[in-house]
Amino acid sequence: MNPKKKSKELKRISRENLNGRYRLSMSVFLTVTLINLFSDLPFTYLLGNVYATKVQTVIYYIAEVLLSIVVGVLQMGLIRFHLNMARKKECRISDVFYCFMNHSNRYFGAYIIYYAISMIAKAPFLVARNFFKLSGDTMGIAIALYAASAVLSFIVLVLFPFYLYLVLSRDDLSVFACLTHAIKLIRGNILRVIYINVSFIGMLVLCVLSLGIGLLWVEPYYEQTFTNLFLDVTGELPAVDCMV
């Protein structure tokens, strides 16, 4: 079995992959971001600020859930783009829409499962936000619920980072089999996943200081690095001649 590559080596490979294709990667990220922004605006403007009736409230939340799933499938296309790049295959902006045009039932089903798991983790936070205040007698309950949601979200982050990558890579596995296989892959790699995420915190701070403009450069770099981590875990990357 090939030795695991260190974060520095994965980042070096990612920079090489992005060389000459950074502008294309930025265009793909911008496409997903703009579609997400403009698809959500009508509901946020028309329904998010005016809850005259319970029906409007229900419509608003249903719309938010449906849009979240559609955007999630769109983001799966972004993952496919980076998988193609890392595998030295042709990659193009149209990869973003791949999951809508090919086996869409599989990809929508896979993301609905992932979305449901994520919402379970966020449930304590939603309960605290809507029913408990960070003041008075309910402050302790609210803090406990926020903390529980943070812990559950962290567990989801470290247990299922490879799930959507597997759905896109292993057509021979069902979406549920991909879920269980993703948990198997994370064994022995949890610290690597955490380290990769932590290593980008400094860059994300700079993105905030640049009013988000820096994300155009950082997001493709992060996505390609994490994609190479996935390929390293599954044994698709070549062995390293010397450990960095």
CA distance 14 to 227: 9
Structure tokens at 74: 């769109």
Say how far apart CA 119 and CA 105 lie, in whole Å. Answer: 21
What pLDDT score does 69 carry?
93
In tens digits, what is the pLDDT along the chain, a chain of 244 residues? 456 888 899 999 999 999 989 999 999 999 998 988 887 776 666 555 555 566 767 777 788 888 889 999 999 999 999 999 999 999 999 999 999 999 899 999 999 999 999 999 988 888 887 777 666 777 888 888 889 999 998 888 888 999 999 999 999 999 999 999 999 999 889 999 999 999 999 999 988 898 888 899 999 999 999 999 999 999 888 654 443 3
Give me the residue spans of the domains in the chain.
Answer: 7-12+21-233
Q: Quote the DSSP letter at residue 134.
A: S
Global pTM value: 0.87
Q: Alpha-carbon distance 174 to 182, whole Å?
A: 12
Show Cβ contacts of residue 76 under 8 Å, excluding neighbours closer than 6 positions.
99, 107, 110, 111, 164, 167, 168
User: What's the pLDDT score for residue 244?
Assistant: 35
The reported pLDDT for the residue numbered 239 is: 55
Query: How far lies 121's CA from each of 73, 98, 196, in Å?
Result: 20, 28, 22
Closest CA to 238 of 91, 86, 89, 90: 86
What is the reported pLDDT for 241? 46
pLDDT value for 6: 87
- The owner of tokens 């610290």 is 191
Q: What is the pLDDT of residue 43?
A: 63
